Structure 1
């Protein structure tokens, strides 16, 4: 089994020209992208954000996913997953331990400096997205609530059904994971299990949370068009957003998103019940320049108990 690691290609635009952040590691005397292995219990997106912060002192929000790379190391094979990450005003501060230099360079200069030939693959994908105008993006994060108490053993109102202990742990993991994108806006079903799922993230990021009846199971069963309208409305706001809802509502929302992406990306969407596991998320990146086009799709499970 390959060792898994994660990192990011930090980018910025200066006078219309793309610049990338490359780092020099004295231990290996090489040039690469900021990256590192996962800590225990950590997801790949979390690791990418943490490694950039530790190595160059920049707090990033993840953009589109980029091609992963594989190469041989002493212990076998290593796989590194990368994301694009827009950096505006922050300047790198190398940690002087793992990294002693960090420089903003052009794509051509990056190709000259990078020591590992496979690191060119995510660079090429990022440059292509930049040239197509789809590198600046904002995320829609579709979240199924964490694991709740069984419906069969619940005797109170359905909307009051709470998370089980493992669901509460899932919710904490969801909170940490969502921070990799850091949306400041969340739309949620007002039913307790959805509100509880977002609570840990609310403590971390203090987003503006709006409870919407159309995202409940009961409202969706009566009037699914209202749930569709919620999904369609997020494109008008043009702001990063979380949508937290229930399993039966998911296919209706996915029907709104699928036509806004390529056939290749649409094929990545789940098509059968239960669509997402409890606490699982789908991240859809919308082009900032073409607000009706979704340019990437990811699916991440933060915690399974």
Structure 2
């Protein structure tokens, strides 16, 4: 029996603050697209490219279809539905508009984009699965959980083995570790990470260096995230990051991770080299955690 083909895709519910709206409707606008081929109204999304993460797909497709640059927030789940050649699986996020939207040029894929309120979106959306997705977003909206802060926790990439000839802090990444540091770059970009914090170990700093370079920022070295630390120091470090509004990534070590997750207030994750999790939180409460591929 032939295996059913599954097409993977990603997108988001793009939102922005609505100025001067009344009390009867949430103060947000949502971005919908019209596709002339299907004559439908839907949310922006698209297929993944080879080697591309779902998060990178979501931000790329939103930008290509609407001209909107976004940063991802709370995940909205995955929708699976039949298409002509099998099944389609689409992952969605709450996606906040960043800066000004680029001018939109109608094309054969999308001939119109429209900012609408929640009530109008319910009327316009063509598909039941999109309407269900909208209600998931509205549930977050009612709790103000669409406006989360983001903390990415990374374990450093694969490093050179411990050696009596090289101090532990100076162990560099291997070729595999360097490749891992490049792979995480588009994921951090999708979440709009703008602050980069690292253990003083070279292998940690090298893991986040390509991303820091890509956004022209510096790496903050935090001794409290080293392997030679304790729970209280880790707690103070993490607490300072949770208090800030900017999306942040921290890079540390496997022995330190349990204290990091304990400080965040979430379950512990046993991360492999180069792996991470994204923590979405608001006012000290963790609302969602995603394991990075």
Report the Cα distance in structure 2 between the residues aligned to 1:299 and 1:121, rounded to whole angstroms: 24
Contact 1:66 1:82 in 2 (8 A): yes
Output one character per residue of 1:112-146: Cα deviation in whole Å (capped at 9) or x when no partner: 22222111222111111111122112211111111
Instruction: Select which of 248, 252, 265 maps to 1:241.
Output: 248
Q: How many Å apart are 1:94 and its aligned residue?
A: 4.4
The answer to whether residue 169 in structure 2 is matched with residue 166 in structure 1 is no
* SS at structure 2 position matched to 1:61: strand
Corresponding residue for residue 147 of structure 2: 136
The answer to whether residue 6 in structure 2 is matched with residue 2 in structure 1 is yes
Unaligned runs of 5+ in 2: 22-26
* SS at structure 2 position matched to 1:276: coil
Alignment of structure 1 residues 153-232 onto 2, 5 Å: 155-217=165-227, 219-220=228-229, 223-232=230-239
Output one character per residue of 1:14-52: Cα deviation in whole Å (capped at 9) or x when no partner: 135222111011122211111001011100000000001
Corresponding residue for residue 39 of structure 2: 29
Report the Cα distance in structure 2 between the residues aligned to 1:186 and 1:249, rounded to whole angstroms: 17
Corresponding residue for residue 43 of structure 1: 53
* SS at structure 2 position matched to 1:277: coil
Corresponding residue for residue 150 of structure 1: 161
Q: How many Å apart are 1:154 and its aligned residue?
A: 6.6
Q: Which has the higher helix share?
A: 1
Contact 2:196 2:212 in 1 (8 A): no
Report the Cα distance in structure 2 between the residues aligned to 1:121 and 1:127, rounded to whole angstroms: 10
RMSD: 1.7
Number of aligned residues = 282
Instruction: Select which of 108, 126, 129 maps to 1:118.
Output: 129
Q: How many Å apart are 1:76 and its aligned residue?
A: 0.9
* SS at structure 1 position matched to 2:169: helix
CA spacing shift, 1:95–1:178, aligned 2, 3 Å:
farther
Report the Cα distance in structure 2 between the residues aligned to 1:234 and 1:76, rounded to whole angstroms: 44
* SS at structure 2 position matched to 1:66: strand
| Structure-1-length-normalised TM-score | 0.87
Report the Cα distance in structure 1 between the residues aligned to 2:166 and 2:99, rounded to whole angstroms: 51
Report the Cα distance in structure 2 between the residues aligned to 1:205 and 1:243, rounded to whole angstroms: 16
Corresponding residue for residue 276 of structure 1: 271
The answer to whether residue 285 in structure 2 is matched with residue 293 in structure 1 is yes
Output one character per residue of 1:87-120: Cα deviation in whole Å (capped at 9) or x when no partner: 2653461452311100011222212222221112
